[in-house]
Amino acid sequence: MDVSVDIEKVRENFRVYNTLSKDIERFEPIEKNKVRIYSCGLTVNDYMHIGHARTYTVWDVLVRYLRFLGYEVFHVSNITDISIDEKILKRLEEEKISFQQLIEKYTKAYFEDREALGIERANVHPLATQHVQEMIELIEILLKKGYAYIAEDGVYFSIRKFQNYGKLSGIKPEALVAGASGRISKDEYDKDYVGDFALWKIAKEKEPYWYSPWGKGRPGWHIECSAMSMKYLGESFDIHTGGEDNIFPHHENEIAQSEAATGKKFVKYWLHTKHVLLGGEKMSKSYKRLIYLRDAIAKYGATNLRLYLLSTHYRKKLNFEEKGIEEASLIVNRFTKAVQITLKSLRKEIKNKNAQELLSYCIAKFNNFLDALNDDLNTTAAIKYLDDISRSIITFVESNGFVPSEIAENIIYILDKMGEIIFGDLYKREIRLEPTAEFEEFIEHMIKERDELRKEGKYESADKIRENLRRMGIEIEDLRFGTIWYIKKNSLYRK
RNA sequence: GCCGGGGUAGCAUAGUGGUUAUGCGGCGGCCUGCAGAGCCGUUUCACGGGGGUUCGAAUCCCCCUCCCGGCUCCA
């Protein structure tokens, strides 16, 4: 039986929801076999929270899936290390550090946190501060072409000059004036029109600055993503991602700047994640209603958390609940057990006719898994099929014993593919664990000893061995044909 | 105010016209020295309310209602 997948065929059916068209579209990159993707990264002035984590995890799955589909993926994700506001200035005083130190601290934390969740590094993580020259050049083009103008406190982009303004978010320039949010009327900037946005801001006292033809200052927030994405990916590229809050104004303004400057279509597919909610409402820094990722990992375990973040489709709001993580941990446990038992099966010479049925089932579910991901990255459904496979392996082993090695070999191929896409780097780190020969010998010895104690009816001593093994992260289970064991790194610790 | 997304059995999450939804929890059973895990049964023929289209609607259309998000800090 052949488990290999016709990648070309699967790839043809990959569809994603494009915010630009507000519709699900078949994915077809600009250049055949190559995908260029830019994901909006973090403003590194604080630790990342579980909302950021969801977003980056989803894009991690996207990138891994694209690679699985055979695409050569070039992924760029920026680091915004320029953001300065009064809150930050206050923080500098509180933490008694310089702006540079603050940025360094949280940039380091950002990479640690990403890695802890098994998120792969992008090909390039450009820093905004190192691309000020590119931003200045882009602003000069916009001035030359008449899309931008110089005011007293900076350079602004004139949104009324750009015909398609609002095509991503659906916001009409006039609506910005009529907006009843109460924020726009309090406009304190020296610009021609309320909807116009800053390309360059002249520095006020105490603020960090860079030199420019328009005076000492810093770039506006949006220009960095235009400058850096076009530098590394070209004037037109395939995918641009972000959280839903980026749609307006950030991405809308990026489109305006970039397309005004180049005259070309900036991005083909815009993908956005919905927010993580806490108690039914959006997390908010100002009200301290948020959960930092590193705290959540410490409490729930990275693997459980990662699966939980993927358990709701990315275009649906995720209301963060502990109970959901508990459910996710059960799926992680089953998968871990299934993977490790299958790995052990590889080394056993066992014949079992029913195993062929098991393999057929796994192949069918693996195809379902791919269909689910093809359907706008439906991780909810994909995880369900992954769990079906875990259960089928466990059930098989519990009633039939280990899987014949030639069958196990094929099943492992499927488990590896699924595991790497869903769990990322955590798959090898926490799930597909293979003990050293010595360690294995030790465990097997303990199990044998326990067995003898059990035969003699010395259950107390036998249970003590089980308890000790469990403390080492070894789970053992007595099945009909004997005792199986596996390494469990992702226990859900509860208070 | 404008724009968008939702309301699915105790809880959560799938499902865009027609077959017994899935997981978790509860209860009962099988298995077991115990535990764990798994399996079977049950809670359960569920889709916010009203109207319409249709042979047939959770799914399409209209109205109402409640919740959430966006409307220049934001993933």
Phi and psi at A75, nearest 5°, equal: -115, 125
Q: What is the spatial distance, in angstroms and rounded to an integer, between the CA atom of A167 and the C1' atom of B62?
A: 29
Q: What is the spatial distance, in angstroms and rounded to an integer, between the CA atom of A69 and the C1' atom of B58?
A: 34
Instruction: Give the residue whose CA sits closest to B33 at C1'.
Output: A459
Task: Give residue A186's pLDDT.
Answer: 42
What are the structural domain ranges in chain A?
10-146+160-169+222-305, 435-495
Phi and psi at A39, nearest 5°, equal: -120, 130
Q: What is the CA angle A192-A196-A198, rounded to 5?
A: 105
Q: What is the spatial distance, in angstroms and rounded to an integer, between the CA atom of A55 and the C1' atom of B10?
A: 31
Q: What is the spatial distance, in angstroms and rounded to an integer, between the CA atom of A430 and the C1' atom of B38?
A: 23
Task: Give residue A183's pLDDT.
Answer: 47
Nearest nt (C1') from A277 Cα:
B68
Angstrom distance (rounded) from CA A29 to CA A467: 54
Q: What is the spatial distance, in angstroms and rounded to an integer, between the CA atom of A462 and the C1' atom of B2?
A: 69
Task: Give residue A99's pLDDT.
Answer: 85
A13-70 residue pLDDT tens: 999 999 998 888 999 999 999 999 999 999 998 999 999 999 999 999 999 999 999 9
**CATH classification of A10-146+160-169+222-305 is 3.40.50.720, yes or no?**
no
Indicate the range of A192-196, A275-279, A414-418, A448-452 predicted with least confidence.
A192-196
Nearest nt (C1') from A279 Cα:
B68
Q: What is the spatial distance, in angstroms and rounded to an integer, between the CA atom of A235 and the C1' atom of B61?
A: 43
Instruction: Give the residue whose CA sits closest to B11 at C1'.
Output: A323
Reported confidence tier of residue A1, pLDDT bands at 50, 70, 90: low
Nearest nt (C1') from A324 Cα:
B12
- Do A303 and A490 meet the contact criterion of CB atoms below 8 Å apart? yes
Task: Give residue A287's pLDDT.
Answer: 65
Would you say residue A418 has pLDDT above 90?
yes
Reported confidence tier of residue A154, pLDDT bands at 50, 70, 90: very high
Nearby residues of A194 by Cβ (< 8 Å), 6 or more positions away: A176, A177, A184, A187
**Chain B: bases < 7 Å from a protein Cβ:** 1-6, 11-15, 22-24, 31-39, 67-75
Instruction: Give the residue whose CA sits closest to B74 at C1'.
Output: A245
* % of chain A residues with pLDDT over 90: 76
- Do A264 and A295 meet the contact criterion of CB atoms below 8 Å apart? no
Q: What single DSSP character describes residue A31?
A: B
Supply the ipTM of this predicted assembly: 0.94
A224-266 residue pLDDT tens: 999 999 999 999 999 999 999 999 999 999 999 999 999 999 9
Nearest nt (C1') from A285 Cα:
B74
Q: Which helix (H) or strand (E) holds A269?
A: strand A267-273
Would you say residue A324 has pLDDT above 90?
yes
Task: Give residue A494's pLDDT.
Answer: 36
> Average pLDDT for residues A341-355, to the nearest whole number?
84
Nearest nt (C1') from A475 Cα:
B36
Angstrom distance (rounded) from CA A342 to CA A340: 5
Nearest nt (C1') from A220 Cα:
B72
Q: What is the spatial distance, in angstroms and rounded to an integer, between the CA atom of A313 and the C1' atom of B64?
A: 29
Q: What is the spatial distance, in angstroms and rounded to an integer, between the CA atom of A366 and the C1' atom of B15?
A: 19
> Average pLDDT for residues A474-483, to the nearest whole number?
90
